[in-house]
Amino acid sequence: MALLLDPVVVRVPATSANLGPGFDALGLALTLYDEVEARVTTDGVNVEVTGEGEGQLPGDASHLVVRAMRRAFDRLGEHPAGLALRCRNRIPQARGLGSSSAAIVAGIVLARALVQDGAERLDDVAALALADEIEGHPDNVAPCLLGGFTIAWGERGRAAAVRLEPAEDVHPVLFVPEVRGLTEEARAALPKTVPHADAAFNAGRSALLVHALTSAPGLLFAATEDRLHQGYRAEGMPLTASLLARLRDEGVAAVVSGAGPSVLAFGTGGWTPRAVPGWRVLPLDVDMRGARLGGDLG
């Protein structure tokens, strides 16, 4: 029997993808976490959710953490008869903060921790590729799994990523609206082709952003400019577009977080965020560790 019977707990960070010009490639892990405890049982699937998504997320095998666990168990050739999960969710859902990636990464990391030698047989390289298969894009699952600032890409149909160390003077601030957004709708707003000049603009800004985030935060304002997705999506999220424009007019390096509707701003050089009616303002740090096993459910 290769399944372990003691419960395991994982903590997974919220993530912000794109970061302006790095569409579907760049991502940052943030110090805001979901925690999930899982244990193998003899029968059935039961999921208890408290916090974000409570009373809305399913309590059965259709829960995304369970679906990701099943995919990871399949890879490992194990088929537990039953599962019991407890989720303490703090990542707002459907706001462009990587809550679905967090659920997927939590499921994969929990499943491999419940199998003897699971972490060796499904290492981080394989876990990232599996998480991307489930999610459909790698820019949230990569920082969620690895922490820090990540660049993700696809190679021969598989996702890969590198983790970079963000500079110390990078202080992410999230603006989270009450309204929700759907990634599929935000993706449907994008054109099939873009002008070559815009692609060239983003290539330059993405390269600059890697330098700015790792060693020159003073360049973040120029480095976070985008022409590939934010403008096309603005009509579908007018509140986001107007907050973004306001922050940038004030000289703040602000971007749409992932597919929106949250806004991510970088506080450097003593900028202090003000309250914005209708938005939660969350000053955070960069999470450096990514998905982490251990401890008790908080």
- Selected range binding ligand HSE among 79-87, 134-142, 198-206, 287-295, rule: CB under 6 A: 134-142
Q: Is the Cβ of residue 145 or residue 259 nearer to ligand HSE in the bound state? A: 259
Q: Give per-residue burial for 158-186: e unless 16+ CB within 10 Å, then b.
A: ebbbebeebbeebbbbbbbbeeebebeeb
Q: Please report whether residue 183 would count as binding ligand HSE according to CB under 6 A.
A: yes
Q: Please report whether residue 140 would count as binding ligand HSE according to CB under 6 A.
A: yes
Which DSSP category does 140 fall into?
Answer: T
Q: Please report whether residue 22 would count as binding ligand HSE according to CB under 6 A.
A: no
Give me the 89-128 binding string for ligand HSE, x by CB under 6 A, dash otherwise.
-------x--------------------------------
Scan residues 40-79 and list those touching ligand HSE (CB under 6 A): none
The string of DSSP codes covering 198-264 is HHHHHHHHHHHHHHHHHH-GGGHHHHT--SSSHHHHGGG-HHHHHHHHHHHHTT-EEEE-TTSSSEE
Q: Please report whether residue 154 would count as binding ligand HSE according to CB under 6 A.
A: no
Give me the 184-223 binding string for ligand HSE, x by CB under 6 A, dash otherwise.
--xx------------------------------------
- Min dist. Cβ of residue 96 to ligand HSE (A): 6
Determine the residue with CB nearest ligand HSE: 258
Scan residues 233-272 and list those touching ligand HSE (CB under 6 A): 258-259
Q: Please report whether residue 23 would count as binding ligand HSE according to CB under 6 A.
A: yes
Reference 113, options 72, 159, 67; nearest CA is: 72
> Which H or E element spans position 35?
strand 26-41
Instruction: Report the alpha-carbon distance of residue 252 to residue 83 in Å, rounded.
Output: 46
- Min dist. Cβ of residue 49 to ligand HSE (A): 21
> Which H or E element spans position 120?
helix 118-121
Number of helices (H) and strands (E), helices first, in the chain?
10, 11
Which DSSP category does 275 fall into?
Answer: P
Q: Is the Cβ of residue 136 or residue 283 nearer to ligand HSE in the bound state? A: 136
219 within 8 A of 193, measured Cβ to Cβ: no
Tokens of 231: 């403008």
Q: Is the Cβ of residue 127 or residue 141 nearer to ligand HSE in the bound state? A: 141
Q: Tell me which residues touch ligand HSE (CB under 6 A).
A: 17-18, 23-24, 96, 137, 139-140, 183, 186-187, 229, 258-259
